[in-house]
Structure 1
């Protein structure tokens, strides 16, 4: 019996590539492709959903999803993450610009007072890899255009993976 199981496992592992079906896109990528709803209703956490609903986004930028979780590093604060659909074929520079605008709005919002870290990702269908930026010390940065808009863009850590 063990030999039969091993033979079945070997036969499965040796399938020709055209015998496999392509993986389904993630729900976030499907949302960016227009196959799923996007917007504040796709966000886990009512505080974050209210912030997103009240925040004007640049043209053609949509929210594919988001989460709010208690910060493991800072008691009483939260870590926020947003997954965005950006138009065209955006790279890290375009993501930084959108993330910075969102950070400005968050810093002026009551939720910003309770935010320890902010992560923003592009889950765009043209790029299977996630492009993301993160500010792990959100409250320590003013997010008001100082010292300069260019310096703010460099505040973001680039997240790979």
Structure 2
């Protein structure tokens, strides 16, 4: 038979390992909260006036919103910038939907002054229905024409899929 102090110690250890009853799930990131309608979206969420001007002049599909975006000097290409956009996509949009939206953005960017200074483009879906951020990235943006050539299907292959 076990001694009373040993039983008390076992009970204390078991209680210490239990999760409290009032655990609350972690708050979603501000980007996911924006896609859930809990934070504002739009031009005010863009870091950098050049990127904000590009997005203001770029039509997005009616059901796609910008949750955030930033422009940074490219560490791999001095004098150029890397762009990243965080988008809210509708419903259960997946990677193929993200690639289509990213490709349309790449077409517009290639025609814009900012495109001539862009080394890499990353477009992410920060949607509540995704368990983690899903993104597509073109690390060699300037090396691709982004004009539908050689074919639109081949153009989709320019994107690397990044999950996190």
Deviation at 1:50, TM superposition (A): 0.7
In 2, Cα distance between equivalents of 1:41 and 1:19: 36
Deviation at 1:16, TM superposition (A): 1.1
Stretches of structure 1 that go unaligned for 5 or more consecutive residues are 1-9
Correspondence list, 1:37-48, <5 A:
37-48=40-51
Matched, 1:30 2:44: no
Which residue matches 1:107?
Answer: 110
In 2, Cα distance between equivalents of 1:81 and 1:135: 10
State the TM-score, normalized to the length of structure 1.
Answer: 0.90
Please identify runs of 4+ aligned residues in structure 1 that moved more than 2 A.
17-20
In 2, Cα distance between equivalents of 1:35 and 1:128: 18
Stretches of structure 2 that go unaligned for 5 or more consecutive residues are 1-12
Matched, 1:69 2:72: yes
Correspondence list, 1:8-157, <5 A:
14-16=17-19, 18-157=21-160
Give the secondary-structure state (helix, strand or coil) at the position aligned to 2:158: coil
Q: Calculate the aligned-residue CA RMSD, in Å.
A: 1.7
In structure 2, the CA distance between the partners of 1:59 and 1:18, relative to structure 1 (3 Å rule), is same
Give the secondary-structure state (helix, strand or coil) at the position aligned to 1:66: strand
In 2, Cα distance between equivalents of 1:35 and 1:21: 18
